[in-house]
Amino acid sequence: PQSVMDNDMVCTITSGAFTIKKADKEFKLKVGDMYTCSKGKTDEATNTSKEVGVHRIAVLVPA
C-alpha cells in the first residue's frame, strides 16, 4: 500500500527486487540500488522477486 513519508529517507535494496511507484513515476530496482523518499510525499514499494525483499532505510532527521 502507499504510505506518506514522515521524514526524508534514503533507501538501499539489500535483498530482492522492487517496483517503486511515486506520484509521477514508476521504476524498478535490484540489490545494491538506492532511491530517496521526500517528507510528505507518497511511495509504494512492491517486491517483484521470489525471495524476501529487504530495504535498508536511513531516516534523515533535522538537527
Domains of the chain by start residue, with CATH: 3-60 (2.60.120.10)
The candidate with the shortest Cα–Cα distance to 43, out of 55, 61, 30, is: 55
What's the length of the chain? 63
CA dihedral of 44, 58, 60, 2, whole degrees rounded to 10 = 10
**Residue 51: per-residue pLDDT:** 96
> Per-residue pLDDT tens for 14-56?
999 999 998 889 999 999 999 999 999 998 999 999 999 999 9
pLDDT band at 58 (very low <50, low <70, confident <90, very high): very high
| Residue type for position 45 | A
Cell of residue 53, nine digits: 525483499
| Residue type for position 24 | D
